[in-house]
Amino acid sequence: MSKRSVASGTVSFGLVSIPVKFYLTAQAKTVSFNMITPKGNRVKQKVVDSITGEDISYSSCSKGYEVSKDNFVILSKEELKALGEDDGGTIEILEFVPATSLKVVEVEKTYYLDSGKGGDRAYRLLVKALTKQEKCAVAQWTSRGRQHLVIIGVMQGALVAHQMFYADEMREFDLDCATYAPKDIEVDLACQLIDSLSTASYNPAKFTDTYRDRVNKAVAAKSAGMAIPVSAEENKPVVSDLFAALQASLKKVA
Please report whether residue 79 resides in a domain.
no
Kindly report each contact of residues 117-124 with a partner whose C-beta sits within 8 Å and lies 24 or more positions away, as own/partner. Answer: 117/19, 118/19, 119/17, 119/18, 119/19, 119/20, 122/16, 122/17, 122/18, 123/18, 123/20, 123/159
Q: pLDDT tens digits, residue range 193-229?
A: 989 989 998 888 998 888 889 888 888 888 888 888 8
Chain centroid to Cα 55, Å, comes to: 34
Residues 105 and 214 in one domain: no
Q: Transcribe 92-103 into DSSP letters.
A: EEEEEEEGGG--
- pLDDT band at residue 88 under the 50/70/90 scheme: low
Q: Transcribe 42-69 into DSSP letters.
A: BP----B-TTT--B--GGG--EEEEEET
| Close Cβ partners of 244 (under 8 Å, ≥ 6 residues apart) | none
Chain centroid to Cα 117, Å, comes to: 28
Residues 155 and 108 in one domain: yes
Residues 99 and 203 in one domain: no
| Residue-number span of the structural domain to which 203 is assigned | 184-253
- pLDDT band at residue 238 under the 50/70/90 scheme: low
Q: What does pTM read for this prediction?
A: 0.76
What's the pLDDT at 10? 93
Cα separation, 114 vs 127, whole angstroms? 11
Residues 150 and 188 in one domain: no
Please report whether residue 50 resides in a domain.
no
What's the pLDDT at 239? 63
Residues in the chain: 254
